[in-house]
Chain A
């Protein structure tokens, strides 16, 4: 069975600084998707970034980028120039490529605090 692990329950970053959130996963599949979702206090889940496992290039979305290490099964999220609005729970998620149901497996989450 696939599992997703986020070992940092909480992280703190100074506004305008950079922070990296860690995620590791376990799977025997070779093709899959990885995601980072943000859940602000409103509790609305928001997709931050997506990575296809078959792509070697790391995905980027403005201030958000990932470090995808397939062999190590690691998928960290880097937030540059942190803003107060980045404060939220961040969930790493996994989905099998050949899963037609689009079922996501979530990690336990990391709470990000941004200090002004």
Chain B
């Protein structure tokens, strides 16, 4: 089946540094990718939607300059947490939407990235 690879799975960084998280669709073209944030024992909160070749659409309350999203190709989207602070520590999950046939559209999730900012 289709696979979405998310890397790294875990990252620890110092406050003030930037961290990049990659999300790749391995065997399908992802027309749209989504970035979620999940706090411990909480639900997934959508941060932004990215379409290949265009600017990401951010959800209300999400800082565009803090969470930079780039969707440069149909198989790769990146989330960069800029000038990370301890409050940015969280579990980040990407998902990718692909078309399989005329009307068969599916969504696949990456395995997530645990970010810890010291």
Contact = CB atoms under 8 A, between A and B. Distances in A.
Interface of A: 42-47, 91, 101-109, 111
Contact of A106 (B41, B43, B97): B43
Nearest to B38: A43
Given A42-B111, A104-B44, 17 more contacts: A43-B93, A43-B112, A45-B95, A45-B109, A91-B43, A101-B49, A102-B32, A102-B34, A104-B34, A104-B107, A105-B46, A106-B43, A106-B44, A106-B45, A108-B42, A109-B43, A111-B41
B89 to A, nearest CB: 15
29 contacts: A42-B111, A43-B112, A44-B111, A45-B44, A45-B93, A45-B95, A45-B109, A46-B109, A47-B107, A91-B44, A101-B51, A102-B34, A102-B97, A102-B105, A103-B34, A103-B46, A103-B49, A104-B34, A104-B44, A104-B46, A105-B46, A106-B44, A106-B45, A107-B43, A108-B42, A108-B43, A109-B41, A109-B42, A111-B41
B88 to A, nearest CB: 18
Contacts of A105: 46
Interface of B: 32, 34, 41-46, 49, 51, 57, 91, 93, 95, 97, 105, 107, 109, 111-112
Contact of B91 (A43, A47, A104, A111): A43
A102 B104 CA distance: 13
Majority DSSP secondary structure for residues of A touching B: loop
A9 B46 CA distance: 21
Given A101-B49, A102-B97, A103-B49, A44 B109 contact: yes
Contacts of B49: 101, 103
Given A102-B32, A103-B34, A44 B105 contact: no
Contacts of B32: 101-102
Contacts of A47: 107
Which of B34, B44, B51, B111 is the most central at the interface, judged by chain A CB atoms within 10 Å of its CB?
B44
A43 B49 CA distance: 21
A108 B29 CA distance: 30
A6 B46 CA distance: 18
A44 B3 CA distance: 11
